[in-house]
Each structure stands twice: as structure tokens, then as C-alpha cells.
Structure 1
Amino acid sequence: MTTESRPTGVNPARAAMIGVSDFDGVLRGKHVLSEDASNGDRVVKFSEAVLAWDCSDRVLPTSFTQKPLSAFGDADLRILSGTGRAVSYVGDLRLYLAEFTGAHESLCPRGVLRKVLQRAAEHGLSCTAGFEFEFMLFKENADTIEEKPFATWVPLTRGPFGYSIARSVAHQELFGEILVLCEKARIPLSGLHFETGPGVIEASLLHCDALEAADRAIIFKSMIKAWAQTRGMMATFMAKVSEKWPGQSGHIHISMSSDGHNAFYDRDRFRGISKRMSQFIGGQLKYMNDFCVLAAPNFNSYKRLVPGCWAPTCPSWGVDNRSCAVRVIPADPSAHRLEYRLAGADINPYLALSCAIGSGILGIEENAALPASIVGDASEKTCHPSGGLPQSLSEATHRFAQSLAAIDVFGDRFVEAFSCSRRWEWEAVQHRVTDFERQRYFEIT
């Protein structure tokens, strides 16, 4: 084709993307003309199949539609014009978030969070949240991770060296690009540093309104993955990449406000923990096992929740205790908050935040009792009458599917569909035979 006859296509300056969260927290979407995304909260048609795909695009059996599984139609998708931001380190490609509406709103992860926040609002409470994500960078690409055994993958850095200034200076160009990317995307960071583990970086997203915080979190994860590929690397937010290394967390900082005041703070009570905060944490602990699958949604998630890896093993709380599932961070009224440490980096931010807040609101409604705080390593203690956390995705999914509290907070249609998706995920992985099993059993059995 000659230059004269080559079609010019769409002006890149007019191009934008729309993205909507599936159950796994993956942004699915497409390019559109920018004016189609920025001109008010328009409703467009989008394939409902993304709510019935697993993470490898296989159709899972779900009851959300009466149509045959091979006959997915279009759903109503609301484009959220106020969410537009630049998502590329180079150029000005803009992404606009969207959410399912109409018949599919009850299944939409963002819609589930809005429902939970509305329940909090009925008690006169508004929520502020901030996510912390650990992710691992490898000097590999999509081809080499398929072709090479994991033992030969090369991480960005070798071995653990948490909070290393030397490594941060040595990789200041990469850190600078991440900071610029986040600034362009209106995702301000309050911290960025190397964490324990080879090639592990932790980013702390600045706190804000809860729904906006989840929006920022899901965009951040997608941006980091895309940015890494432009640098000839791969980024992963897996909860546990190797049994030799600590897991990767997705901790969530939460505070609640009422009439402009921090509802979690009372200077006259122990460590400033107000009655509402006490009830809120009591609810989080009471329903942690039932709701666990929302914060630990994958087969791999449960390999992080083991002793000695800076992750909880039971519903527990403590004052500034990082071994607990809920860590109270005492501070002045402007910063007094809790840290929900159950969540891994592999979360769907909308659903993990729904889990943390929804269980807390139940605690306020039920005047939930708060057990004694844990002093020392929570993994060495019997922490809660409900016992330890679920040990597998299968156990967590069963508890969620049978939970009347989950149905009350999240809706029966969502509980049924999400439980179905997690059972499918469990079955997709549990029958796989691993290299470790072959090494362990091949000769001796």
C-alpha cells in the first residue's frame, strides 16, 4: 500500500478507553472516541460476557443470565465521565471507568461497593480509604515467562532489602517514571519504596473518598502492568509468587466520618478507639471468615495467609500490631484509622473494600463485641471464637455462599454469581499437577 492510499484512521488525540471491572478485578474495555466518553455519564452497550469469563477468558457456568452460555448479549454500561485520566507514561491516552447498570448492576463490583457505602451513609457515615500495594517486577516479557522455567526468571533486584535507599537511588529512573505516571493519572502516592523480597516495590496510594480510592486502586494495578511491559519487564500482583518469599499484600487503610468528625476517634477511650470503631472492628472480626473470599479471591491467595509472612492467620486485632488481621493505628483525629491487613495484592479493590466496610457496618448495626486485643505474634495465639481463617479458596467460597450476612450486605444475586466464579476457579487449579509434586513423589511412589 502506498503512502497516499494508506488510511489515516482516528486521530490519536481523539482516542480514549473505557474500562469496567470483572469479578477478578481485571479492567476490560475498548477504545472509543474521547467525546463519547467525556460527554456526560452516557449509557452504552457492552458485552455481558465479561461477567461470565474467568481470568483466562473461559466461560464459567453462572446463573446471571437465562440465555444459553454461548449466546451472551449486550448489557448496559454507564461511562463515568468524571473518572477520566491519562494512563500512559508517554502521550495522553485517557481511560474512563464504567460500571454495569440496569439488569446487571447487582453483579457489578463497583455497584456492590456503592451499595455498601450507601448502607454506611444511612447511619450518617462516610468512608475514607487508601490502598497499599506490593508488586514484583521481573526482567522478563510475556514470551520468556512462558518459555523459561520459573527458577530462571530474573527479578529486578536480587534478594530482600526492604526500605533500601541504595536500591531506590540506583533505580531512581524507574521510580521517577512511576511517580510521573501516577501524577498524570491523578493517583497521588504517599509513599514508594522497595519491600522485602527480590524486585518487590510497595506503593501507598493517598487516602480519599472510598469509591474514588477503589477507582484509583484498580487503575493503578492496570497502569503498572502496562508500564512495566513498555520497559521490557513484567509486573505481578500475585499474593504469593514463591514459597521462598513473603507474600504481596494489598492492605487497606480505613476511617469513617460523621458530621465532619472522625467517627473512629474518642480521646476519652482506650487508645482513642471510639465506640463506633470498636463495633466496626468487632463486625470485621465476626464476619471475616464468612466474607474472606472477597479479600482472598484466588487459589493462590491462601498461600500468603500463613505464619511468619507478615499476614494474618485468624480474625484478630491489635494496636499497631502488624501480625493481626486488623491493625489500629492511633493518631490525632485527622489520621486515626485502622488497617485491614487480610487483603492481598491480588484483590479486586471494589470487592475487598466492600468486604472490609460491609462487615464493619454490620458490627455497628449489631453492636458487635470487640475481643481483647492481641499483643505479640497473632499467629501463635487462639485469636477468635470463630477459629482461624479459611485454609483454601474452596472453604472460603463455601462459607460465603452459605452466609446469610453476605446475602444481606451484598445481595443474593451477587453472592450466588461470585461464589460460582470462585468454585470454578478452585476447580480450574486444584486438579493441576505441579513440578513440585513430580519432584516430591515421582521416584518414591
Structure 2
Amino acid sequence: MNEQQLTAYIHENNIQKIKYAFADIDGILRGKIIHTKKFLDGLQSGYGFCDVVFGWDSADVCYDDVKVTGWHTGYPDKACHVDLSTFRTVPWQDNIPFFLGDFSDADGNGLAACPRSLLKRITKECADLGFYPEFAQEFEWFNFRETSQSLQDKHFANLQPLTPGMFGYSILRLSENSAFCDDLVSLLDKFNIPLEGFHTETGPGVYEAALMHTHVIEAADRAVLFKTAVKEIAYKHGIIANFMAKWNESLPGCGGHVHQSLWNKDQTDNLFYDANDVNKMSELHKQYLAGQLYCLPHILPMYAPTINSYKRLIEGAWAPTTITWSVENRTTAFRVVNSSKGYTRLETRIPGADTNPYLVMAAALASGLYGIKNKLKLDVPQTVGNGYQNKTNGTIQPNLYEAATDMQKSAIAKEILGADFVEHFTQTRLWEWRQFAKSVTDWELKRYFEII
């Protein structure tokens, strides 16, 4: 809808309120419900929104060392603009109109801390090179028969999974909770988040959903909305949905893999495909992959942004630990899928379900374009067999501190993502590390309380 059509729609349907939101640095949707008059008045000038949402962490605790906002600025309002192309209605909330937005100044320049603005900038670079980026993210997540209150009452311990047992790809488990599963698929589709596939994964109460592929910005919008939508639909069924990378050391982690390809501008030709190549990979595809392999150590916190992310990245747990690639090999960091021309793509397997989709896709696209712009050669040999054992090209950093410190110092990260973004983002990740480092964990109590 354009502005005129939207105004007519609002008046014709006697709509009194609008919901809008945007993603913060952690991918958490922050937003408001506003009166339609305020909404229509702000379509041109934007809506004032306190920029503390980029000055605090996921627990609403203010950062101590970021420049974009803080006590030194007084936490002012900044202009948040809605994107009319994101219009949809929320089917489980009486079809209230909903929009996504992002932060930019009067000249249209994105706020350095705004993830969607970052992705828009990198997508423009992609378009300027003549490419159409086709992306999709897939998510694994655990479900529990709990409520927000019971989580607090139980101190997040002894939680009841939605179903017992492992049951990967089980039709039985989908049938057992058919009302919830049916709601997920049908309501997400009505919310303009069509699923390409949906099934159980290995673990008690685990589901996996692959989102339909589309243009990278729409793909990231859908992925951000997907996580919140799943949580809200789950609430209606007395279920808590959990997107942590690894909630239990004895169970598999939850991935958030990103699938991507570049097409010509009219979307008629997959530029990653070459029928004459042994792996059906075009030179462009190889350059793109080479860029991701090269940039990975410089931008890892974009793919693994939390303390918990690195608990998933361990050997033999269906998540990569080495900087490797292969065709149809799920032990490597990058998996080439080449089953047909229309579906030839690259799967970046490092990201977990805890990621911010805007940042994941921005990192993947920016590093791939780096390889194309610099015509990098794919000189890392394809891994044959167990990718965990192939450490010849390096391993993934073991924790958030090392990854964020490396990114903070990286000239490559600043080149492809912008120095202001890198400064802000890495400060937030190092803050996360400091919060963890000073906490006393259950493991420490069990380990040392009596015996030491």
C-alpha cells in the first residue's frame, strides 16, 4: 500500500489503533500501539521513540560505554520511520494493523546502531552491483508447558518440555500437539510468514521451521517477526517457546541457518549456478563463498551474539567448529546445496536461533560481496568427510569475549559493516561478557560450595 491507499483503508475499516515495532541490537522487537491519527500524522516526519532501546541490553540494563546514546546524551527521542511495505495484520490479535520500522535521520541516513538500517545499506550495495539477493532463515526451537510466571517461580529450572523423548522428524509428535502446530502454520501464513517446511527436531519438544525464501530485507523482516509470532501463538496454547542456542548441555542446540543466493535483477537467472562446474558452482558463487570464509573470524559475533551461542558451537553437536565448506555436508560451517538450478544456494550454518536476523543476513551478504568485489579465489579446499576434524583453515573462536575483541580490532569488519556500527555492536557484546563474568553460576555453587 502507498500512503493514500493506507489512509483510505484505515478510514474505510474504522481502524482506531496501529501497532508498530523495530528490532534492537539483540533482535528483540520493541514497539508501541498508537492511535491512527498519530500514525497518519507521522508517516512523513516519523515517530519519536526513546533511543534508550539502543542503549540497554536484553534485560533493560543500560550499557556503560556506548556513544550512540547514554546518560551523556540524556536518552532523547529519535525519529523512527515505518516501512509501509511491511504492512500486515496480526490474526491472533483481532487483525490489528502492524508495521515494521527502522531509525534514520532527516537525510535518510540510518542510525549506526539500527540493525535494519544496516541491512538496507548493504542491500543497496548489492543492488548497485547488479544483484538481487534471495535469502531465507530456518529456526529450531524448544517448547515448554510453562508460563512466564511459572518460569520465574521455578527459577528457570525443572521445566516441563512440550513432549518427552527425542523424536526427530516425528509425525507422531506433530499429531500429538496438532492444535498448536496447525495454529503455527496457518496463523504465520496469514501474518505473511509462509513456511516452506515444518517438522519436529531431535530433542524433547523441539520444532524446526524453514521460512520461504524471498528478497533479503523481506526475509529478515519475516525472520524477526517469526520469533515473536511463535512466542505469542505459543502463549495462547499455554506454551513457552525458547530460541536459546543451547538451553541444556545434554541436548542438541538450536540453529538459525541462513540460505542465500544472488540472482540477476529480474530474478530469472540464479547467478550461483553453473551446469559445467563439477560442483555446479559459478565463479560468482565461489567468490561469494570465499568472502564468507575469509571474513568469518572478523564478524563471528554477528552469527554468535550471546554467551550461550558458543555452548552450541561444539564438536559433534550438529553445529560447526571449523572454518570449512563442502557440498551437502552438515559438519562444515558452509554447506553448498546444488540439487537444481532454482535451488542452488549457500547455507551459512554458524548462526543459532538466538541471532538477530538483520545482523546475520547483513554479515552474510556483506562478507559475500567482499569476496565478489575483491575477486577472491576459493582456495580453501572442499572438506571431504568430518568437518570437525579439518582444522587446516582455522577454528571458530571459542567464546564471545575473544570473538568480540577480534571484531572490535578488525579493519575488515569496519570496511564491510562501517566503523560506527562495529564500535557500537562490539561494545554491546563486550558488555554482555562482563555481565556474565561477574555472575555466580549454578555450576560454581555445585562445584565449590562445600568441597573447597
Question: TM-score when scaled to structure 2?
Answer: 0.92
* More displaced 10-residue stretch of structure 1: 147-156 or 128-137: 147-156
Report if aligned partners of 2:272, 2:285 keep a CA contact under 8 Å in 1.
yes
- Cα distance, 1:150 vs. partner? 4.3
Q: 2:98 aligns with which of 91, 95, 99?
A: 95
Amino acid at match of 1:360: G
Q: 1:171 aligns with which of 150, 168, 177?
A: 177
- Structure 2: runs of 5 or more not aligned: 1-12
Distance 1:353 1:38 in 2: 31
Distance 2:170 2:39 in 1: 42
Q: Deviations over 1:194-226 (max 9, x none)?
A: 101111111111000000000000011111112
Distance 1:12 1:62 in 2: 46
Report if aligned partners of 2:134, 2:216 keep a CA contact under 8 Å in 1.
yes
1:186 matched to which residue of 2?
192
Q: 2:59 aligns with which of 36, 56, 67?
A: 56
- Cα distance, 1:272 vs. partner? 0.6
Amino acid at match of 2:57: D
Distance 2:14 2:309 in 1: 39
Aligned residues: 433
Equivalent residues in 2 for 1:329-408, closer than 5 Å: 329-370=337-378, 371-384=380-393, 387-408=394-415
Report if aligned partners of 2:45, 2:79 keep a CA contact under 8 Å in 1.
no
Alpha-carbon spacing, 1:395–1:432, altered in 2? closer, same or farther (3 Å): same
1:84 matched to which residue of 2?
87
2:248 matched to which residue of 1?
242
* More displaced 10-residue stretch of structure 1: 217-226 or 60-69: 60-69
- Cα distance, 1:35 vs. partner? 6.0
- Cα distance, 1:14 vs. partner? 2.2
- Cα distance, 1:130 vs. partner? 0.8
Distance 1:202 1:349 in 2: 16
Q: 1:127 aligns with which of 117, 133, 147?
A: 133
- Cα distance, 1:36 vs. partner? 4.9
Report if aligned partners of 1:128, 1:208 keep a CA contact under 8 Å in 2.
yes
2:31 matched to which residue of 1?
29
Secondary structure, aligned partner of 2:185: helix
Alpha-carbon spacing, 1:80–1:66, altered in 2? closer, same or farther (3 Å): closer
Equivalent residues in 2 for 1:203-214, closer than 5 Å: 203-214=209-220
Amino acid at match of 1:87: V
Q: Deviations over 1:299-346 (max 9, x none)?
A: 100000000110000111110001111100012221111111010000
- Cα distance, 1:122 vs. partner? 2.5
- Cα distance, 1:99 vs. partner? 0.3
Amino acid at match of 1:286: Y
Q: Does 1:229 find its partner at 2:235?
A: yes
Report if aligned partners of 1:41, 1:80 keep a CA contact under 8 Å in 2.
no
Alpha-carbon spacing, 1:66–1:16, altered in 2? closer, same or farther (3 Å): closer
Secondary structure, aligned partner of 2:33: strand
Q: 1:290 aligns with which of 298, 301, 321?
A: 298
- Cα distance, 1:87 vs. partner? 2.8
1:196 matched to which residue of 2?
202
Distance 1:331 1:319 in 2: 10
- Cα distance, 1:246 vs. partner? 0.6
2:284 matched to which residue of 1?
276
Q: Deviations over 1:65-116 (max 9, x none)?
A: 4763471101011111221212342521232101000175232100111111
Alpha-carbon spacing, 1:92–1:66, altered in 2? closer, same or farther (3 Å): closer
Alpha-carbon spacing, 1:235–1:41, altered in 2? closer, same or farther (3 Å): farther
* More displaced 10-residue stretch of structure 1: 61-70 or 245-254: 61-70
Secondary structure, aligned partner of 2:210: strand
Q: Deviations over 1:116-136 (max 9, x none)?
A: 112222221110001101111
- Cα distance, 1:263 vs. partner? 1.1
1:423 matched to which residue of 2?
430
Report if aligned partners of 1:88, 1:223 keep a CA contact under 8 Å in 2.
no
- Structure 1: runs of 5 or more not aligned: 1-10
2:4 matched to which residue of 1?
none
- Cα distance, 1:149 vs. partner? 4.9
Q: 2:17 aligns with which of 15, 18, 23?
A: 15
Report if aligned partners of 1:78, 1:98 keep a CA contact under 8 Å in 2.
yes
- Cα distance, 1:282 vs. partner? 0.7
* More displaced 10-residue stretch of structure 1: 346-355 or 426-435: 426-435
2:416 matched to which residue of 1?
409
Q: Deviations over 1:156-184 (max 9, x none)?
A: 01121110011111211111100121111
Amino acid at match of 1:231: H
Q: Does 1:116 find its partner at 2:122?
A: yes
Distance 2:373 2:294 in 1: 13
Q: 1:305 aligns with which of 299, 308, 313?
A: 313
Secondary structure, aligned partner of 2:85: helix
1:157 matched to which residue of 2?
163
